[in-house]
Amino acid sequence: MARRRVMFTFPPELITEPVIFNLGKQFKVVTNIRRADVTEDRGWVVLEMEGRDEDIERGITWVITKGVRVDPIGKDIVEG
């Protein structure tokens, strides 16, 4: 199983959409929110994803096509 940590930055129009839920369900990726900040007009999430590498890649590609910015994180903010 592969594990990847990323930061999602959501545009205002996607704040209320269940993007992370759909990512997990559609691509069989286990998601773990490590940190987040969401307001009415912006939002970001530090997300840990676990699953098959190809499923994680397909899921990230799908999230990007939805309009979410995805940035890799080398080390988990919570774990230090």
Confidence category of residue 80, pLDDT binned at 50, 70, 90: very low
Q: Please give the helix or strand (H or E) that residue 8 lies within, else none.
A: strand 2-10
* 80 within domain boundaries: no
Identify the CATH number of the domain in which residue 17 sits: 3.30.70.260
Domain that holds residue 65: 2-34+41-70
Q: What does the chain come to in residues? A: 80
Q: Is 68 exposed, middle or buried (0-12, 13-18, 19+ CB in 10 A)?
A: buried
* 77 within domain boundaries: no
- Residue 41: its pLDDT value, please? 86
pLDDT tens digits, one per residue of 15-63: 999 999 999 999 999 999 999 999 988 899 999 999 999 999 999 999 9
* 78 within domain boundaries: no
**pTM given for the model:** 0.87
Number of domains comprising the chain: 1
* 54 within domain boundaries: yes
